[in-house]
Amino acid sequence: MSELAGQVVFVTGGSRGIGRACVLAFARSGAKVVLAYAGNEAAAAETARLAAAHAVPGAVTLTRFDVADSEACHAAIDQAVTDHGRLDVLVNNAGIAIDGLLLRQKEDDLARQFAVNVQGAFALCKAAARPMMKQRAGAIVNLTSVVGEMGNAGQTAYAACKAALIGFTKSLARELASRQIRVNAVSPGFIDTEMTAGIPEAQKAQMLLMIPAGRLGRAEEVAEAVLFLASPRSSYITGEVLRVNGGMYM
């Protein structure tokens, strides 16, 4: 996708799983990628190393901060713009899930999930919107979840966060469309990542019965959807939720 050559892309939660797949996809497309991560330096460095095999040297740079810290979010975006002179794409992928039935959930767990999954995206979008508005161009892609659309027992807080991101995406799309900034979301189903690797086989078999495609998705398949929504190929698409779930929710 040569349309992204030379563009500056900021990806949160980029060290592993779907985030890593996004970083690699953008790097292969010729973009300059700022990989944001929370704490796993080894995983972040490994992602940068993998990207180097398919991209120009220095295509991926690393930045470490907690997306739940609004000031850190603004500082990271500002630094990326200072370093590269612009910001073309923001991918809000960072997220956490603290599972548990409602009656066992602690309020601190709810607050932490909203701080990372919703407040973080809010702060990063607010910071990124300023340089994008000056450019009169930009694309924002928020990672939500099938759980935010259909619900899931034991994930009331996580589902609430992901549902909130859908409403946030649609509202922000309306606010920024006149400045030629598109805002969309990608909603993955059950994807084969470290997060799903620990699911017991019996439970995984039950999950597969809910998926018409009969398999878990791959992180690379989600990354392709993100790449599409970030590229000029989706130039007339904004405020949409692109589902990558094997037909689990239609």
Q: Which one from 37, 158, 236, 249 is the annotated catalytic residue? A: 158
Q: Does the annotation count 37 as an active-site position?
A: no
Q: Are strands 60-64 and 89-92 parallel, antiparallel or unpaired?
A: unpaired
Are the C-beta atoms of 8 and 207 separated by less than 8 Å?
Answer: no
The dihedral through the CA atoms of 161, 117, 111, 80 has a sign that is: negative
Structure tokens at 78: 């500002």
The one-letter amino acid code at 53 reads: A
Cα 223 to chain centroid, rounded: 9
Structure tokens at 80: 């990326």
| Alpha carbon distance 176, 183 (integer Å) | 8
Main-chain dihedrals φ then ψ at residue 39, nearest 5 degrees:
-165, -20
Active site residues: 158
